[in-house]
């Protein structure tokens, strides 16, 4: 018997990692135990899954988690999580359309209230706690009314939406046959279906986006053909006990000891970049409300700002604690000099804090408000001696990153 080998490449903490596996796959009763294709002699998906399981630690380690984590490992891009409620249906539809036009990977899910709800099917045929791929957006006309649609796919390949604009819904009877052909309406149980954006916003809770080029999340009103120049800076490090493991802001005597990175954004934006309201100060362990600024103050700040993406990752948590991730955060402060921020400086007005969020996950990324030319991201967590990886994208020009 001959054994063949398959080679896959995944992105892991700033570099591409090669994983080699043989072609022996787990089966039960003569059928593949995990991923399989509808074509009997096609095995590429099962081989990719095996390689990914080897990278993560085991098949069991692949269970649960966020789809954005996997999308980053497969593409090397940056993933974003967007609450569906953060946009009106038409605005969300335009955002999804713009992202898809730039080749982004999009997914969505319905939040399960508890573990027992995961995998349960709603009356409309949607699975809770289950990732759906967003494969297309389009619009059709019915009785002089323009209907905005989103196409989703259940990766199971079955169990489809049975509400308005689903495969066999009567809504399609009033649509011209040419339109049905144009949008590739396929009336069969293949896991893929159309849904109106209004119903999508009512039924789904979260959209996850992953793009190698951060312009994919530039906004619903941006030109799909426009491309900005982005520079990338990354840094690996760890929280060291009794040295740089300062904990959260609940511990003011040690918080300042957390790693600090001085960012100089050397060129301002050529034109305004959309600011997402859900990105601005979404909560902190002791932070107050975001400072409300006047129109004149906002206009002055617009003159010298540069859009930046920040991502903080905790390494190898799936291999160590499976899905028991630490609570991690980064805080971004406006600074005037390159000096290290000491304890007394953190007691200044909250206006110096431009962004902060705490979350338990392997990847924490955001596209915060446009930043002043000099900022200082301050990553931290609640437990010491953990490894981190931080990545920054900067639009237009260079980012100078110094560890202080």
Q: What is the pLDDT of residues 104-148, one digit of tens each?
A: 899 999 999 888 899 899 999 999 999 999 999 999 988 888 999
CATH number for the 230-403 domain, one of 3.30.530.20, 1.10.540.10, 3.30.70.980, 2.60.120.380? 2.60.120.380
Do 259 and 403 meet the contact criterion of CB atoms below 8 Å apart?
yes
pLDDT value for 305: 67
Angle of CA points 205, 206, 210, to nearest 5°: 165
Question: CA 357, CA 81: separation in Å to the nearest integer?
Answer: 13
Catalytic residue, chosen from 66, 154, 258, 380, is: 154
Report residue 248's pLDDT band, with 50, 70 and 90 as the boundaries.
confident
Per the listing, tokens 């090669």 go with 18
Task: Please enumerate in sequence order all residues whose Cβ is within 8 A of that of 28, keeping only pairs 6 or more positions apart, or say none.
Answer: none
Structure token pair of residue 260:
């600090």
Place 338 in a pLDDT band, splitting at 50, 70 and 90: low
Kindly state the tokens that stand for 289.
């409300």
Please give the pLDDT value at position 321: 52
Residue 52: the pLDDT is 93
Written as six digits, the tokens of 94 are 């335009």
Nearest to 260 by CA among 239, 283, 232: 239
Same fold, 78-210 and 230-403: no
> What integer pLDDT is reported at residue 40 of this predicted model?
83
Whole-angstrom Cα distance, residue 188 to residue 179?
18
CA distance linking residue 278 with residue 82, whole number of Å:
8
> CA angle, 56 as apex, 51 and 60 as ends, to 5°?
95
For 300-336, write each residue's pLDDT tens digit: 555 556 667 777 777 766 666 545 667 777 777 777 7
pLDDT given for residue 399 in this prediction: 37
Nearest Cα neighbor of 99 from 17, 218, 7 is 218
Q: CATH assignment of 78-210?
A: 3.90.70.10
The per-residue pLDDT for 360 is 46
Tell whether pTM > 0.85: no
Q: Please name which of 304, 298, 313 lies closest in space to residue 366, comparing C-alpha atoms.
A: 313
Q: What percent of the chain has pLDDT over 90?
A: 23
Catalytic residue list contains 154:
yes
Per residue in 192-222, pLDDT (tens digit) is 999 999 999 999 999 998 876 554 444 444 4
The active-site residue, picked from 130, 262, 331, 354, is 130
Q: Which of 18-22, 138-142, 254-258, 378-382 is predicted least confidently?
A: 378-382
pLDDT tens sequence across 9-24:
998 877 899 999 998 9
pLDDT of 171 higher than 80? yes
Mean pLDDT of 28-42: 87
Examine the pLDDT at 401 and tell me if it is beyond 60.
no
Look up residue 309 and give its two tokens: 């993406």
Domain boundaries along the sequence of the chain: 5-63, 78-210, 230-403
């Amino acid at each position: 018997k001959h054994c063949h080998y398959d080679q896959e490449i995944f992105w892991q903490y700033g570099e591409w990692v090669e994983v080699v596996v043989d072609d022996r796959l787990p089966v039960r009763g003569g059928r593949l135990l995990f991923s399989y294709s509808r074509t009997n002699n096609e095995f590429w998906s099962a081989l990719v899954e095996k390689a990914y399981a080897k990278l993560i630690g085991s098949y069991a380690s692949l269970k649960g988690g966020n789809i954005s984590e996997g999308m980053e490992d497969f593409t090397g891009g940056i993933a974003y999580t967007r609450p569906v409620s953060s946009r009106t249906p038409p605005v969300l539809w335009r955002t999804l359309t713009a992202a898809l036009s730039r080749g982004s990977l999009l997914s969505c899910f319905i939040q399960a209230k508890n573990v027992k709800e995961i995998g349960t099917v709603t009356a409309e045929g949607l699975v809770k706690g289950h990732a759906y791929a967003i494969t297309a957006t389009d619009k059709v006309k019915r009785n002089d009314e323009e209907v905005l649609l989103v196409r989703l796919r259940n990766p199971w390949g079955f169990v489809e939406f049975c509400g308005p604009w689903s495969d066999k819904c009567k809504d399609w009877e009033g649509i011209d046959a040419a339109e049905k052909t144009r949008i590739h309406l396929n009336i069969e149980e293949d896991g893929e279906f159309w849904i109106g954006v209004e119903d999508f916003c009512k039924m789904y809770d979260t959209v996850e986006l992953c793009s190698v080029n951060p312009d994919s999340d530039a906004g619903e009103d941006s030109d799909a053909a426009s491309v900005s120049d982005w520079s990338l800076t990354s840094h690996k490090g760890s929280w060291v006990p009794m040295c740089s493991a300062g904990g959260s802001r609940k511990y003011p005597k040690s918080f300042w000891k957390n790693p600090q990175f001085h960012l100089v954004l050397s060129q301002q934006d050529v034109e305004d970049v959309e600011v997402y309201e859900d990105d601005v100060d979404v909560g902190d362990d002791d932070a107050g409300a975001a400072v409300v600024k006047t129109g004149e103050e906002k206009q002055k700040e617009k003159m010298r700002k540069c859009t930046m993406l920040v991502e903080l990752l905790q390494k190898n948590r799936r291999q160590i604690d499976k899905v028991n991730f630490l609570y991690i955060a980064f805080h971004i402060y406006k600074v005037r000099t390159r000096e290290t921020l000491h304890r007394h400086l953190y007691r200044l007005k909250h206006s110096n804090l431009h962004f902060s969020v705490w979350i338990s996950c392997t990847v924490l990324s955001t596209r915060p408000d446009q930043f002043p030319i000099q900022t200082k991201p301050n990553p931290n967590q609640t437990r010491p001696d953990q490894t981190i990886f931080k990545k920054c994208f900067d639009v237009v020009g260079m980012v100078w990153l110094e560890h202080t």
